[in-house]
């Protein structure tokens, strides 16, 4: 049984169902329960029950997610419903797809959501070829002159019902270059979308003026700094857990912004200081900042003898250049050039051949090796 997930209102999660249905500890009781579930499944397929009789089966545990602004309600249904649903779709997959047709792509079609987006995008290109558009899953963005953009927006709202796609004008933003264009945009779009001359976030990055970019990136970095400070408090008692949280979560977050926002190194000083002066010393039970040579060592991956904690000021321009070069040369296919040994490893090794580590550095290096072995 491959069903996974948390529990519904009954409190029985997938692991508990897997145990009571498949474990040999329950002997004949587990077999009888499986047979009863099979009978229930057949009855649900053959018989039309009054909704009041299925309230327990279809009930969900509601979880509100903060969308800022607004709330997205998430319903966590009963695991029993998931088991029955997966069983039915396994045996009747082709029949369900044929009955649903091409317009309901969530009926088990391969890459169904992507197919819906591509189909709608192709239709919009035919209707408004003047607009350059980009899609990521169900997030769309278009660029062009005001009137073609409005035609594209209206066509998007008209085509939405065929694919189950709903345009939310209150969350749609039109970025223009001047106040004059903003006034013209309000005449064209009316109150259907938000109009700004400053900028707005797009897929986590930012598009707009330099002032808006400075404010957006500054606020983002200050938020990260507070989170690193909180993580440093946890590191006092749980250093390894804090290290894993940083490398598995925060590191990827930093990398995404460094690869998508130009000159992001201009904004990372607060978070860089929090890592160097607070987080790293706390990991090793120190109060004072660690020596510069060790900080360079920590930027290496665990496989190379480091901790994989990046130097954001150095990595930011490199990451952005790598991202843009991949996009500009994507039509040429993957590069066949052999990877070279990182130059910073060579520099670090060469500098340490000139002297032996101090007693404090030996102690920190020993702790580093122990932490790296725990990671692996």
| Domain-embedded: residue 105 | no
Residues 181 and 312 in one domain: yes
Residues 320 and 227 in one domain: yes
Burial 21-36 (b: 16+ CB within 10 A, else e): beeeeeeeebeeeeee
Structure tokens at 26: 């329950």
Residues 95 and 172 in one domain: no
Domain that holds residue 293: 168-327+343-355
Tens digit of pLDDT for each residue in 279-309? 989 988 888 888 888 888 888 888 888 888 8
Strand spans (E) along 67-164: 71-77, 132-136, 139-143
| Domain-embedded: residue 71 | yes
- Residue where a domain stops, chosen among 100, 130, 149: 100
| Domain-embedded: residue 114 | no
Structure tokens at 363: 């102690």
Residues 94 and 200 in one domain: no
Residues 61 and 193 in one domain: no
Closest listed residue to residue 38, CA positions, set 103, 109, 87: 87
Closest listed residue to residue 172, CA positions, set 141, 218, 207, 151: 141
Alpha-carbon span 55 to 297, nearest angstrom = 59
Inter-residue contact 356 to 365 (CB < 8 Å): no
Residue 364: how many other CB atoms lie within 10 Å: 22
pLDDT tier, 229 (very low <50, low <70, confident <90, very high otherwise): very high
Residues 206 and 301 in one domain: yes
pTM of the model: 0.57
| Domain-embedded: residue 334 | no
Alpha-carbon span 122 to 116, nearest angstrom = 10
How many structural domains does the chain have?
Answer: 2
Residues 212 and 72 in one domain: no
Residues 254 and 347 in one domain: yes
Q: Do strands 173-175 and 139-143 pair parallel, antiparallel, or not at all (unpaired)?
A: unpaired
Q: Residue 289: what pLDDT?
A: 84
Alpha-carbon span 71 to 358, nearest angstrom = 55
Residues 210 and 350 in one domain: yes
| Domain-embedded: residue 63 | yes
- Residue where a domain stops, chosen among 100, 125, 154: 100
- Residue where a domain stops, chosen among 100, 115, 132: 100
Is the torsion defined by CA of 140, 142, 148, 150 positive or negative? positive
What percent of the chain has a predicted confidence (pLDDT) above 70?
76
pLDDT tier, 88 (very low <50, low <70, confident <90, very high otherwise): confident
For residue 237, is pLDDT > 50? yes
| Domain-embedded: residue 21 | yes
Closest listed residue to residue 274, CA positions, set 219, 231, 215: 231
Q: Residue 222: what pLDDT?
A: 92
Residues 212 and 315 in one domain: yes
């Amino acid at each position: 049984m491959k069903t996974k997930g948390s529990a519904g209102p009954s409190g029985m999660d997938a692991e508990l169902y897997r145990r009571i249905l498949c474990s040999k500890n329950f002997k004949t009781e587990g077999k009888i329960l499986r047979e009863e579930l099979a009978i229930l499944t057949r009855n649900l397929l053959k018989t039309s029950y009054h909704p009041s009789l299925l309230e327990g089966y279809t009930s969900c545990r509601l979880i509100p997610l903060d969308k800022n602004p607004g709330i997205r309600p998430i319903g966590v249904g009963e695991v029993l419903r998931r088991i029955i649903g997966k069983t039915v779709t396994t045996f009747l997959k082709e029949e369900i797809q044929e009955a649903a047709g091409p317009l309901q792509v969530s009926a088990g079609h391969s890459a169904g959501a992507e197919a819906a987006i591509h189909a709608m995008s192709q239709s919009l290109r035919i209707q408004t070829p003047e607009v350059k558009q980009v899609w990521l899953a169900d997030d769309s963005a278009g660029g062009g002159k005001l009137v073609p953009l409005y035609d594209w927006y209206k066509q998007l709202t008209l085509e939405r019902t065929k694919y189950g796609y709903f345009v939310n004008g209150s969350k749609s933003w039109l970025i223009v270059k001047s106040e004059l264009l903003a006034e013209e945009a309000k005449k064209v779009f009316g109150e259907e979308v938000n109009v700004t001359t400053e900028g707005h976030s797009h897929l986590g990055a930012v598009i707009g003026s330099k002032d808006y970019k400075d404010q957006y990136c500054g606020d983002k970095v200050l938020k990260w700094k507070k989170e690193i400070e909180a993580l440093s408090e946890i590191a006092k008692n749980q250093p390894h857990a804090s290290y894993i949280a940083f490398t598995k979560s925060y590191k990827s977050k930093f990398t995404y912004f460094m690869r998508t926002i130009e000159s992001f190194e201009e904004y990372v000083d607060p978070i860089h200081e929090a890592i160097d002066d607070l987080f790293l010393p706390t990991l090793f039970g120190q109060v004072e900042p660690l020596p510069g040579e060790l900080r360079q060592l920590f930027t290496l991956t665990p496989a190379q003898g480091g901790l994989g904690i990046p130097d954001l000021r150095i990595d930011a321009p490199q990451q952005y250049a790598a991202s843009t070069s991949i996009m500009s040369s994507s039509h040429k296919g993957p590069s066949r050039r052999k990877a070279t040994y990182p130059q910073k490893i060579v520099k670090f090794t060469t500098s340490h051949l000139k002297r032996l580590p101090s007693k404090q550095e030996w102690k920190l290096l020993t702790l580093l090796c122990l932490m790296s072995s725990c990671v692996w």
